Amino acid sequence: MFIAYHPRHFPHSWDKAGRRELASPCSWEHPEDSGRAEGLMSERGLMKNARPSPDPRSSIWAWIAYELRFCRVQRGLSGQDLAKILNCGRSSISRLETGESQLDDKQAALLDKIWSTGGRFSLLLWYARLGHTPDWLNQYIGLEDRASMIKIWQMNFVPGLLQTPEYARTTFMAGDVKDVEAALEARMTRQEILNREDPPLLWVLLFEGLLDIPVGGPEIMRAQLAHLLEMSERRNVSIRVVPKTAPAHPGLDGAFMLLSVDNTEVAYVEAPEGGRLVVSAEDVRSFVIRYDRTGQEALPAGPSQDLIRKTMEAM
């Protein structure tokens, strides 16, 4: 279960006037009161073409993004100034402050040291990783749209990027989605990234067992399997099947996805009530190893196509 943390959960200190304040010099403001900060940013010319930070109430990750921009502006720094501090590009700062990317441990520790925050950003990262990311899907879709490579390991369902409309509609109905047609339209729109002139590479590992599940009935499932065969013929798509007879492997721990975005890899871990974004280089590396080791148990592309075709014909 995700736990939403608020600044009141952090230690407080008292100033000389006896007023209670956050121990960190980077104090949080309620969004309705953020006009002062926004005005300060505009006054100093630091917001040219800047996209707004996310609502800090939406998730702790959004709060971190909001806090990063607030602390930067509070110190009179431009995005380029912060980019020099973190040794990255100005565009990377923009993504950090809009929540599209997330601080890593080294960046948080550096900011805490240079800005004397009392460990504020490192502590926020620690709290953020305790639970699921409420808006994980929106974050994932944003990264998916910019990814140059997408790697997926799935055990239960055909991945969304490879689903037929009928298969997708059935899964939404089974999941008790309130607006099935809106969800379906969004999913089909996501698939358009595969039709671009320069589409991302899509490498998919599927557990054989999910091919046998007649989602929506035999007719819908046969059409879905036929679609997998069709997609597997594309130059940028690789679909391989991990057979039921494969020995124990790391993929048995659950489904996950790896995305390469702007020369950086991030991972998403699926869960029944949401998902979790993994950005720590060390943690992402563990998922890369899990994917590679699971892939060692997968059939080559040709035999995988044969198995999918055989399953389709027998259904």
* Structure confidence by residue, pLDDT tens digits, 123-180: 998 887 776 665 667 777 888 999 999 999 999 999 999 999 999 999 999 987 889 9
pTM of whole model > 0.75?
no
Q: What is the 3 state secondary structure string of 190-207?
A: HHHHHHCCCCCEEEEEEE
Output the pLDDT for position 34: 44
Mean per-residue pLDDT for 52-73? 85
Mean pLDDT over the full length of the chain? 83
Q: State the pLDDT at residue 190.
A: 95
Say how many residues make up the chain: 315
Would you state the pLDDT for residue 9?
A: 40
Task: State yes or no: pLDDT of 95 exceeds 80.
Answer: yes
Q: What's the pLDDT at 136?
A: 65
Q: What angle do CA 71, 41, 72 make, to 5 degrees?
A: 20
Highest mean pLDDT among 40-54, 178-192, 260-274: 178-192
Q: What is the mean pLDDT of residues 107-118?
A: 95
**Is 41 a residue whose pLDDT tops 60?**
no
* The pLDDT of residue 215 is above 90: yes
| CB neighbour list of residue 92: distance below 8 Å, 6 or more residues apart | 83, 86, 101, 262
Structural domains in the chain plus CATH codes? 7-128 (1.10.260.40), 136-314 (3.30.870)
Q: Assess contact for 88 and 95: CB atoms under 8 A.
A: no
Judged against a pLDDT cut of 60, whether residue 26 lies above it is answered with no
Percent above pLDDT 90 for the chain: 62
- Cβ-contact 153, 246 below 8 angstroms: no
Residue range 48-66: mean pLDDT, rounded: 75
- What confidence tier does 86 reach under pLDDT thresholds 50, 70, 90? very high
Q: What is the pLDDT of residue 22?
A: 37
CB 26 within 8 A of CB 11: no
Q: Tell me what the mean pLDDT of segment 1-6 comes to.
A: 39
Which of 2-11, 225-234, 288-297 comes out lowest in average pLDDT?
A: 2-11
pLDDT for res 273: 62
Query: Average pLDDT for residues 301-308, to the nearest whole number?
Result: 98
SS3 content of the chain, % helix, strand, coil (to 5): 50, 15, 35
Helix, coil or strand: residue 70 = helix
Round to whole Å and give the CA distance between 28 and 17.
20
Alpha-carbon distance of 315 to 305, in angstroms, equals 15
Average pLDDT over residues 174-188: 92
Residue 15, pLDDT > 50, answer: no
Ramachandran angles phi, psi of 265, nearest 5°: -105, 135
Q: Is the pLDDT of residue 4 over 90?
A: no
Report the pLDDT value the prediction gives residue 272, as an integer from 0 to 100. 62
Q: What is the mean pLDDT of residues 223-232?
A: 98
Q: Looking at the chain, which runs of residues are DSSP E strands? A: 12-14, 20-22, 149-154, 201-207, 237-242, 256-261, 264-271, 274-278
